[in-house]
Structure 1
Amino acid sequence: MLSDLLRRLTAPAPEPLPDTDARVAIGALLVRLARSDGDYAASEIAQIDRSLMHRYDLNASEAADLRAECEALEAEAPDTVRFTRAIKDAVSYENRLAVMETLWAVALADGTRDDEEDSMMRMTASLLGVTDQDSHRARLKVAAG
Structure 2
Amino acid sequence: MFADLLKRLTTPAADPFPEPDAQLAMAALLVRIARSDGDYAEAEIARIDKILATRHNLSPFEAAKMRGDAEALEAQAPDTVRFTRAIKDGVVYEERIEVIEALWGVVLADGVRDPEENSLLRLTANLLGVNDRDSALARQRVEARG
When normalised by structure 1's length, the TM-score is 0.97
Are 2:104 and 1:100 aligned?
Answer: no
In the alignment, residue 103 of structure 2 is paired with which amino acid? L
1-side partners of 2:94 and 2:15: how far apart? 20
- The question of 1:51 aligning with 2:28 is answered no
Aligned-partner SS, 1:12: coil
In the TM superposition, 1:43-122 aligns within 5 A as 43-122=43-122
Match of 1:20 in 2: 20
**How high is the TM-score relative to the length of structure 2?**
0.96
The letter of the residue matching 1:109 is: A
Between the two proteins, the alignment pairs up a number of residues equal to 145
Q: What RMSD, in angstroms, separates the aligned Cα atoms of the two structures?
A: 0.8
Unaligned runs of 5+ in 1: none
Structure 1 outlier segments of 4+, above 6 Å: none
Q: How far apart, CA to CA, are the structure 2 residues paired with 1:94 and 1:8? A: 26
% identical equivalent positions: 61
- The one-character-per-residue Cα deviations of 1:91-130 (angstroms, maximum 9, x if unpaired) are 2111111100000000000001011011011111001110
User: What amino acid is aligned across from residue 126 of structure 2 in structure 1?
Assistant: S
Q: Which residue of 1 aligns with 2:141?
A: 141
Q: Which sections of structure 2, spanning at least 5 residues, go unmatched?
A: none
